[in-house]
Structure 1
Amino acid sequence: MTRPTPHTRADYPYHHSTPTRWADNDVYGHVNNVTYYAYFDTAVNAYLAARSALDIHAGTVIGLVVETGCLYFAPAAFPELLSVGVRVAKLGTSSVRYELAVFREGADTACAQGHFVHVYVDRETRRPATLPHALRTALEALTTGS
C-alpha cells in the first residue's frame, strides 16, 4: 500500500484556527491521536454555526457521525496554534463526507488529515432527513469535487 502524501493548505476552502491546549498533549509530549477528531468536529461545527446553517440546539436535523479516519504525518504539541482545513468531498441527499487537514503554524503541508461522514437525521425520529436549504448551501461552498 502506498502511503498518501500530505495535502496543502490550498486544498481546503475553509480554515479554522485552533489553539492547542495543555490537556491535548499525551505522555509522549505531542497531541494525542484522538484529539485530532475533536479538532475536526470543532472546525466543521464552527463553520456551520457561523453561517447559521445548523441550529445545534433546536434545529429539526442533527448530524450523526457514521464513519471516520485519520492519517498522521508529523507531531503537533502544546502550545502550538493549528489551523484545520475543511472541504466537502461528497454531498448527498442526507449525508456529507468532510475531508479535513491539520496544519501547524507556518507549515503548508498537513501534519494530519482525515475524514468523517455525517448522516443528517430528524432530531426526533433519528431517521435520515433531507439536508435543509441553508445547510446544503453552506456545504456546497466547501465542495471540491475531490
Structure 2
Amino acid sequence: MPSTTTRLNYKHFLPLQTRWADNDIYGHVNNVAYYGYFDTIVNEYLIGARALDIHEGDVIGLVIETGCKYFAPLEFPQKLEGALRVAHIGNSSVRYELAIFKAGENTPAAEGHFVHVYVDRETRRPVRLPDGFRAALEKLT
C-alpha cells in the first residue's frame, strides 16, 4: 500500500546520499540503513538548532521505540532527501516522524518514527526537556 504522506507533511529537510555500504546482496538499500538516515536527520536538526550538545550537554536522548514502512526500493548511487516532523512532545520524550524521499519525488520511499526519552547524561534518569530544546521541537510540530 503506497504512502498517503507527501513533502507538505514535513517541516525540515536534509539532503542525503546513499553509500556503497548501504546496498545489500539484493542490490537495494538494506533496511538497517534507513535507521541510520533517521538518526542522522534528527541529530542534524537538534545540533543545528543548538538544542543538543552531543559532547558536553547534560541531556542525551535514548531511543526506546522505532518503526519503518517501506514503499519503494532505493539503491546506490542515489540522491535522497530526509524529512522530519515532531508528532508529540512529552515531559521527557519526543516522537519524531521521518520520511526518506528520492530527490525530487513528492511521495516517500519510506516513512518511520523514533521515540526518544531524554535523560541526564550521568544518571540516565529521565529529565524534563529544557526550554530551548522544547522550543526547537515546537518548530517541527
Q: TM-score, normalised by structure 1?
A: 0.94
The equivalent of 1:32 in structure 2 is 30
Instruction: Give SS of 2:108's match.
Output: coil
Residue from 120, 123, 127 that aligns with 2:121: 123
Change (3 A) 1:4 1:80: closer
3-state SS of 1:88 partner: strand
Cα deviation for residue 6 of structure 1 reads: 4.1
Structure 2 counterpart of 1:26, which letter?
D
| Corresponding residue for residue 12 of structure 1 | 10
**Residue aligning to 1:46:** 44
> Identity of paired residues, percent?
63
| Residue of structure 1 in register with 2:139 after alignment | 141
Where in structure 1 are there 5+ consecutive unaligned residues? none
Please say if residues 5 and 107 of structure 2, whose CA atoms lie closer than 8 Å, have aligned partners that are also in contact: yes
Which of 16, 21, 24 pairs up with 1:23?
21
Number of aligned positions between the proteins: 141
TM-score, length-scaled by structure 2: 0.97
1:104, 1:110 within 8 Å by CA — same for their partners in 2? yes
Is the 1:30–1:75 Cα contact (8 Å) retained in structure 2?
yes
Aligned match of 1:91 in 81, 89, 92? 89
Distance in 2 (CA, whole Å) between partners of 1:120 and 1:9 is 28
Which runs of no fewer than 5 residues in structure 2 stay unpaired? none
In 2, are the aligned partners of 1:6 and 1:73 still within 8 Å (CA)? no
Output one character per residue of 1:8-44: Cα deviation in whole Å (capped at 9) or x when no partner. 1111000111111111111111110010000000000
